[in-house]
Amino acid sequence: MLPGTALDRLRERHDVLVWEGELPPSREALVGLVRDAEGLLALLTDRIDPELMDAAPKLRAVSNYAVGFDNIDVAGATARGIAIGNTPDALTDATAELTLALLMARARGIVEGDAFVRSGAWRTWSPTAFLGAGLTGATMAVIGPGRIGTAVADRARGLRMRVLVQGRQDSREHLRAVLAESDVVSLHCPLTPETALLIDGRTLAWMKPGAILINTSRGGLVDLDAVADALDAGRLGGAALDTMDPEPVPLGHRILSTPRVTVTPHIGSGTAAARAAMADAAVDNLLLALDGERMRFPVNT
């Protein structure tokens, strides 16, 4: 169920079938749901591929409840005349705020400090306990200066950080220079064949020793084992990850037992206001497309 009242607007105009399960529908269940559907409001956990689209001959529109749309085969949809939409803007501030929250939590060991106090291990004030990394005057690399990357950069400048930007057109040499200079590297690009595993053993080796890696974009950008290796070797100072591949990350994954790692469960857009605004945008997209009009936030038209 979506937060807010957006779905009511859809129900006023169309028959709506809602998947009520806590977990995403199985492939079989999803295929069953879309069989007669003309529109689909999808979550990022729903894989919209040619097989699924072929199982839905009446499908004309897919509105993704997310800004990212790597769960959708957009070329396949375009070839079938299916309009795709997403929900940018609504979640920009929320995601930028979580990015900064993760950065500060990681830089100052806030999660570890909380556990330390609760465990009873705190015996006295100490000049050397929980020494973190200062951010004032530090350099942050923003990899992907789209809406969210730009919002993160603005906030980082507000903290008196220096910001370096790696854009889509910038070369690998540029990336190497940016990584070598940065105390913090924050990822804000979509997951595409070009950005998959952007952060791997090779690029981690380009990073400044002791740097902090933040990922609030897509887990597929980062090789988690390489990050764990770099942390174990003491080359990486810390990692704060809101997104991981796979999600949920298995409890036995070594990244969860590697020190100086802070994780959250893909909650970048997770404020009530952002999620309600996303629902409005997703429903607007669907209503417009089903009326034969251009979506409010079209991806492929």
Assess 67 for contact with ligand DGY (CB under 6 A).
yes
- Say if CB 207 and CB 180 are below 8 A apart: yes
Q: Cβ(285)–Cβ(273) under 8 Å?
A: no
Q: For ligand DGY, which stretch binds (CB under 6 A), given 65-73, 75-83, 145-153, 171-179?
A: 65-73
Of the two residues 70 and 229, which places its CB atom closer to ligand DGY in the complex? Answer: 70
**68 forms part of the interface with ligand DGY (CB under 6 A):** yes
Whether the Cβ atoms of residue 222 and residue 231 lie closer than 8 Å to each other: no
Beta carbon nearer to ligand DGY, 243 or 262: 243
Interface characters, 32-51, with ligand DGY (x: CB under 6 A): ------------x-------
Determine if 144 is a binding residue for ligand DGY (CB under 6 A): no
**Complex with ligand DGY: residue 145 or 268, whichever CB lies closer:** 268
Residue 241 φ/ψ, nearest 5 degrees: -125, 115
Considering only 56, 72, 91, 261, the residue that binds ligand DGY (CB under 6 A) is 91
> Active-site residue among 106, 155, 188, 218?
218
Minimum Å gap between C-beta 70 and ligand DGY is 8
Least CB distance from residue 35 to ligand DGY, whole Å? 27
Active site residue 12: no
- Interacting stretch for ligand DGY, rule CB under 6 A, among 66-74, 134-142, 196-204, 219-227? 66-74
CB 222 within 8 A of CB 249: no
266 catalytically annotated: yes
d(CA 26, CA 109): 39
Give 82-127 as a 3 state SS string.
CEEECCCCCCHHHHHHHHHHHHHHHHHCHHHHHHHHHHCCCCCCCC
Q: How many CB atoms lie within 10 A of CB 151?
A: 21
Nearer to ligand DGY, 68 or 237 (CB): 68
Binding region for ligand DGY (CB under 6 A): 44, 66-68, 91, 268-269
- Give catalytic residue positions: 218, 247, 266
